[in-house]
């Protein structure tokens, strides 16, 4: 299975398993090495103390038998009857710390001190630097522990890599399957190909969710197909009737001309909304569209909303540009924005301008209620004085999302709508 570039953006569970396993092994090796050193030092001290205990028993027994102190049998051991007589390099420390039993002297000398239990002023002092086994080879022991820990960690990383890949392979397979699956093309029963554990449970849950989604998608497809038929049929009747009048009359009366323009505009809107619902519009359907003619036609279609109101519509020359868009989409978008601006602006002006790939429509109306300002682009959200159903700006936002445009709505004194048109 090829690696999915989208999945590569995320931290792999397998990688996390490997890292944690290796860190755990490294910490375990460090703790084991430290405990090993401590154990070696303790064993060394035990051997020395046992040897000194045997010598103390011997000296005590000799003193009881003869009444005199014998010399220690071991050359590295000496008997002292005052701390002031201890070897010079440890004398001051021994006086200052009378409970201490182990001292380091000069020139690598190392001393162990034991007090004879039955005698208050008798100490056996052993200079054990020649008897030490661990300290002379301490560096070699540490080096061995470090190398062995490194080798063990490498082996643990290899084992973790094998376990991690084997454990997460079903998850990677499931993620790849879901990521590459197209809506409406789900392989039913795909969850059965996964192991009978939590992964199959997850796959079954995803399968049930996607089955429900596909059913909803089918219902929506049927609905849009039926709506298309039901809306286009009366439009066709209107267009046919107008065509009959056009053949009988040289020119259509103003009222019929307005009906003809409105029917054509409605047909474009129906087609655009159906394409939006089906998500069928793609990049190949876009074209360079002149903005000014669409603005002018939209103003003409909705100029009746400005009747008897002292409102001026100002279209700046900057709108003489072409934008890369689906033509029908632009009609619906401008119709929703300008109809709102015309409807709720009672006096002042509506300004339309285009600057730095941004279409700006600004009015001097009452603005948007503060309590709904943050969710004004949500479906069915209406202000106190709204005369519509609250779907206008929701449709505008969906159109912008489908075209990869950026929509911003500002409302302080009046309303300003900004649409960043990305080429």
Q: Give the model's pLDDT for residue 335.
A: 86
User: What's the average model confidence in pLDDT over 152-157?
Assistant: 85
pLDDT, tens digit, 9 for 90 and up, residues 263-273: 776 776 676 66
Residue 342 confidence (pLDDT) above 70: yes
What is the C-alpha separation between 208 and 228, in angstroms, rounded?
A: 30
In this prediction, residues 310-314 reach a mean pLDDT of 92
In the structure, what pLDDT confidence band is assigned to residue 282 with cuts at 50, 70 and 90?
very low
Please check whether residue 267 is in contact with residue 235, taking contact to mean a CB–CB distance below 8 angstroms. yes
Q: What confidence category does residue 54 fall into, taking pLDDT thresholds of 50, 70 and 90? A: very high
Q: Could you give the C-alpha distances from 114 to 50, 117, 178, 181, 257, in angstroms and in order?
A: 11, 9, 75, 80, 121
pLDDT in tens, 58-104: 888 888 888 888 889 888 899 998 888 899 889 889 888 988 888 98
Residue ranges of the alpha helices (H) in 67-197? 88-96, 138-180
Digit-coded pLDDT (tens) for 117-140: 877 788 999 998 888 877 778 888
Q: Of 89-98, 289-298, 372-381, 384-393, which range is least confident?
A: 384-393
pLDDT at 319: 92
Rounded to the nearest 10°, the torsion over CA 52, 57, 63, 66 is -120
The model's pLDDT over 224-263, given as tens digits with 9 standing for 90+, comes to 677 766 777 888 888 888 888 878 777 778 788 778 777 7
pLDDT at residue 358, rounded to an integer: 92
Higher pLDDT, 307 or 319: 319
Is residue 292's pLDDT more than 90? yes
Which of helix, strand or coil describes residue 292? helix
The pLDDT of residue 280 is above 60: no
Stretch 316-326: mean pLDDT: 89
| All structural domains of the chain | 183-280 (1.10.287), 284-420 (3.30.565.10)
Mean of per-residue pLDDT scores for the chain: 81
Tell me, what's the pLDDT at 284?
47
- Decide: helix, strand or coil at residue 409: strand
């Amino acid at each position: 299975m090829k690696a999915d570039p989208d999945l590569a953006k995320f931290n792999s569970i397998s990688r996390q398993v490997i890292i944690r396993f290796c860190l755990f092994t490294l910490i375990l090796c460090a703790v084991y090495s430290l405990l090993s050193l401590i154990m070696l030092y303790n064993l060394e001290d035990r051997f020395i103390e046992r040897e000194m205990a045997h010598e103390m028993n011997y000296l005590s027994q000799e003193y009881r038998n003869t009444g005199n102190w014998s010399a220690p049998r071991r050359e590295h051991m000496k008997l002292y009857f005052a701390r002031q007589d201890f070897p010079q390099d440890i004398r001051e420390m021994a006086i200052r710390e009378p409970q201490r039993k182990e001292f380091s002297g000069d020139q690598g000398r190392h001393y162990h001190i034991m007090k004879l239990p039955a005698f208050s002023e008798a100490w056996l002092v052993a200079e054990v630097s020649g008897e030490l086994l661990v300290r002379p080879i301490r560096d070699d022991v540490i080096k061995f522990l470090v190398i062995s820990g490194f080798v063990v960690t490498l082996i643990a990383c290899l084992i973790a890599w094998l376990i991690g890949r084997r454990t997460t392979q079903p998850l990677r397979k499931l993620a790849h399957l879901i990521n590459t699956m197209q809506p409406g093309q789900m392989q039913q029963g795909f969850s059965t190909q996964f192991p009978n554990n939590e992964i199959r449970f997850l796959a079954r849950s995803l399968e049930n969710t996607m089955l429900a989604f596909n059913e909803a998608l089918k219902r929506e497809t049927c609905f849009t197909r039926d709506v298309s038929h039901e809306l286009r049929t009366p439009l066709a009747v209107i267009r046919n009737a107008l065509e009959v009048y056009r053949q009988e009359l040289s020119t259509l009366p103003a009222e019929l001309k307005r009906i003809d323009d409105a029917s054509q505009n409605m047909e474009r809107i129906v087609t655009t909304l159906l394409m939006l619902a089906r998500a069928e519009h793609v990049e190949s359907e876009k074209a360079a569209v002149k903005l000014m003619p669409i603005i002018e036609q939209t103003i003409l279609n909705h100029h009746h909303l400005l009747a008897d109101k002292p409102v001026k519509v100002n279209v700046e020359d900057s709108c003489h540009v072409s934008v890369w868009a689906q033509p029908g989409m632009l009609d619906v978008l401008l119709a929703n924005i300008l109809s709102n601006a015309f409807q709720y602006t009672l006096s002042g002006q509506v300004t339309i301008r285009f600057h730095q790939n941004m279409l700006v429509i600004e009015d001097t109306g009452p603005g948007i209620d503060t309590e709904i300002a943050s969710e004004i682009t949500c479906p069915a959200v209406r202000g106190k004085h709204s005369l519509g159903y609250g779907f206008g700006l929701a449709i505008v936002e969906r159109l912008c999302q489908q075209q990869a445009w950026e929509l911003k709505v500002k409302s302080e004194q009046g309303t300003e709508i900004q649409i960043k048109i990305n080429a």
